[in-house]
């Protein structure tokens, strides 16, 4: 099992902390990671587990999915000062990204629910390499879902698959079958075969006409729309069961800072 935090730490501190070593810093101390922006907490428990694995004491953290205000202490720990300084930057950066993803997801979920209470916001598996585990968890913390985690957990017959197979008229699988038609002709052709049609690059105006026709062929058909930007989700909400997006992964990191203090050994 890959330890993602060990990888992040190896990138940030591959051979030691030159500054802390030069200053001969030692003893015990505390760290508070503070967000200057409001947001939604995500993956704080994962960070806490990593701190504990390094022998540090986790004092408190904001739980996954909880909203927080500006100037909130998001994460607090104590212990060996040299270790705290090694983990400081990577921890602050990590939370600035995960909490931004959770916040952007929640913003999108609340926007579409105001239009269509049944529509779901789901993110794709087009995550940043090496960060999928935490990006997907942050999406869930914000109230979103995953379209799919990987190639191993779902069936999605894409346009490229359709280009190289002879026929998908008779399909049988334990899992739901999702098909991405190449054009409207394909959409009508596969409406009976698919559990879900993934309609990419259709305008809301086009879906207003197309979706009722497809559902007249298969009343149980689910409609997913893909490649949707954050600013467009509301326009697509009336026509889809699922809106698939990568927008949360590209949310601007929150502005965070950290304060580190030494613990007086006499106290």
Kindly give the pairing relationship between strand 120-123 and strand 242-245: parallel
* Closest to 231 (Cα-Cα) out of 197, 204, 263, 194: 204
Length of the chain: 267
pLDDT of residue 267: 60
pLDDT of residue 211: 95
Distance CA 145, CA 143 (A): 7
- The answer to whether the predicted template modeling score (pTM) of the entire model surpasses 0.85 is yes
Q: What is the mean pLDDT of each run of 10 residues along the chain (267 residues)?
A: 78 82 88 97 96 96 97 97 94 96 96 93 86 92 87 81 80 78 90 89 92 94 90 92 93 97 79
Please, what CATH class does the domain formed by 4-109+252-262 belong to?
alpha beta
Distance CA 163, CA 33 (A): 51
- C-beta of residue 176 within 8 angstroms of C-beta of residue 153: no
Question: CATH 3.90.1170.20 occupies which residues in the chain?
Answer: 4-109+252-262
pLDDT of residue 1: 55
Question: CATH 3.20.20.70 occupies which residues in the chain?
Answer: 115-250
**What ranges in the chain are assigned the alpha helix state H?**
4-12, 18-22, 44-53, 81-113, 132-141, 159-164, 184-190, 204-217, 233-236
pLDDT of residue 20: 85
* Closest to 110 (Cα-Cα) out of 140, 137, 143, 70: 143
Distance CA 253, CA 42 (A): 13
pLDDT of residue 2: 66
Give strand pairing partners of 197. Answer: 179, 223
Which fold, 115-250?
TIM Barrel (3.20.20)
Q: What is the DSSP letter of 172?
A: -
């Amino acid at each position: 099992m890959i330890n993602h935090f060990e990888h992040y730490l190896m990138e940030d501190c591959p051979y030691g902390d030159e500054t802390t070593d030069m200053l001969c810093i030692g003893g015990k101390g505390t760290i508070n990671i503070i967000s200057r922006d409001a947001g939604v907490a995500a993956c704080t428990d994962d960070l806490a587990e990593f701190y504990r694995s390094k022998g540090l004491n986790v004092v408190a953290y904001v739980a996954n999915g909880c909203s927080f205000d500006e100037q909130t202490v998001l994460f607090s720990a104590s212990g060996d000062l040299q270790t705290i300084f090694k983990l400081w930057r990577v921890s602050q950066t990590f939370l600035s990204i995960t909490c931004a993803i959770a916040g952007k997801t929640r913003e999108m979920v609340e926007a579409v629910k105001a239009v269509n209470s049944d529509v779901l916001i789901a993110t794709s598996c087009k995550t940043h390499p090496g960060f999928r585990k935490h990006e997907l968890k942050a999406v869930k913390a914000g109230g979103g879902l995953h379209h799919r985690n990987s190639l191993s957990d779902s069936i999605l017959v894409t346009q490229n698959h359709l280009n190289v197979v002879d026929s998908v008229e008779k399909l049988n699988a334990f899992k739901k079958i999702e098909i991405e038609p190449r054009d409207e002709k394909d959409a009508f052709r596969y409406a009976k075969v698919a559990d879900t049609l993934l309609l990419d690059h259709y305008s809301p105006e086009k879906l207003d006409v197309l979706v009722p026709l497809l559902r007249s062929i298969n009343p149980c058909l689910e409609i997913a729309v893909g490649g949707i930007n954050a600013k467009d989700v509301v326009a697509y909400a009336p026509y889809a069961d699922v809106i698939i997006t990568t927008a949360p992964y590209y949310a601007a990191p929150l502005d965070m800072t950290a304060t580190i203090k030494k613990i007086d050994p006499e106290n």
